[in-house]
């Protein structure tokens, strides 16, 4: 039996896949926004047609969103979609710590489920 070779990543899947630092930063943001959008739609139990109507897009584009096809959507458009669904999107910019020339991109989502009294 042959043993598989495992290479430890650098902690950024997009850099590990060979994307540039700039493209990697964009993909991190887009993937986090897309995940939040997908989770919001799933939590509400919407079908593709209903979600598409609420976002003002057709079902084919909704299908691409739910399949994770990020290339079709800009960061701005994903932020707009989340806003249309009643989600707040917050961006924080701060100076990189001493000794680090380049900044990093970190995306975080917080999930707070609304409780229905009953």
Domain harbouring 80, CATH code = 1.10.260.40
- What's the domain count of the chain? 1
Is the pLDDT reported for residue 118 higher than 80?
A: no
> Which range of residues forms the domain containing residue 53?
18-84
Q: What is the pLDDT of residue 78?
A: 95
With respect to residue 6, please indicate whether it lies within any of the assigned structural domains. Answer: no
Is the pLDDT reported for residue 8 higher than 90?
A: no
With respect to residue 116, please indicate whether it lies within any of the assigned structural domains. Answer: no
With respect to residue 75, please indicate whether it lies within any of the assigned structural domains. Answer: yes
Q: Is the dihedral of CA 31, 35, 11, 101 positive or negative?
A: positive
Helices 75-84 + 48-55 axis angle, to 10: 100
With respect to residue 110, please indicate whether it lies within any of the assigned structural domains. Answer: no
CB atoms within 10 A of CB 8: 6
> Stretch 24-40: mean pLDDT, rounded?
91
Read off the pLDDT of residues 72-81 as tens digits, 9 standing for 90 and up. 999 999 999 9
With respect to residue 1, please indicate whether it lies within any of the assigned structural domains. Answer: no
pTM of the entire structure?
0.77
Over the chain, what is the mean pLDDT?
85
């Amino acid at each position: 039996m042959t043993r598989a070779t495992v290479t430890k990543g650098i902690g950024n899947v997009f850099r590990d896949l060979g994307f540039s630092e700039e493209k990697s930063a964009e993909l991190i943001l887009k993937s986090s926004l897309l995940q939040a959008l997908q989770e919001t739609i799933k939590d509400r139990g919407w079908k593709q047609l209903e979600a598409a109507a609420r976002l003002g897009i057709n079902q084919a584009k909704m299908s691409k969103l739910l399949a994770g096809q990020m290339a079709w959507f800009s960061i701005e458009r994903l932020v707009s979609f989340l806003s249309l669904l009643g989600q707040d999107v917050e961006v924080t910019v701060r100076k990189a710590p001493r000794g680090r020339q380049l900044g990093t991109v970190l995306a975080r989502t917080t999930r707070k489920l609304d409780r229905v009294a009953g």
